[in-house]
């Protein structure tokens, strides 16, 4: 299992703490420093809706102008590659599946 996120993200910290408590092994990948979002985003978007993967409540989103925001519809993978902090966190890859966020559904799917 790979967990993509930011070290200072509260939701990522909750996810890691819950996975540790459940005895789940994972590898943490810092989405800003270590991940190749240009390669990952197109693969994630094959399984996850754009609206679910792009965090439109983030500071990064609010700082984008309208032309940049429009790229969420026309080229979401490139928008995420250019702005990795727009990725809703955490993104969890396990067994060929991609899960986004730390909702009750994601927790249940991971047994955490």
Task: Please report, for residues 49, 68, 94, 97, 101, the alpha-carbon distance to residue 109 in angstroms, rounded to integers and kept in the order given.
Answer: 18, 34, 10, 10, 12
How remote is the C-alpha of 6 from its chain's centroid? 9
Q: Out of 1, 9, 18, 45, which one is annotated catalytic? A: 9
* Cα(88)–Cα(100) distance, integer angstroms: 7
Would you call 16 exposed, middle or buried from its count of C-beta atoms within 10 A (0-12, 13-18, 19+)? buried
Verify whether residue 12 is a known catalytic residue: no
Which residues participate in catalysis according to the annotation? 9
């Amino acid at each position: 299992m790979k967990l993509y996120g930011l070290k200072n993200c509260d939701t990522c910290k909750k996810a890691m703490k819950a996975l540790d408590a459940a005895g789940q092994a994972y590898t943490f990948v810092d989405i800003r420093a270590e991940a190749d979002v240009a390669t990952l985003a197109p693969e994630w978007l094959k399984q996850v809706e754009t609206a679910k993967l792009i965090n439109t409540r983030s500071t990064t989103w609010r700082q984008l102008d309208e032309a940049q925001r429009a790229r969420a519809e026309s080229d979401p993978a490139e928008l995420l590659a250019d702005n990795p902090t727009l990725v809703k966190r955490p993104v969890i890859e396990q067994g060929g599946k991609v899960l986004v966020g730390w909702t009750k559904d994601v927790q249940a799917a991971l047994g955490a």
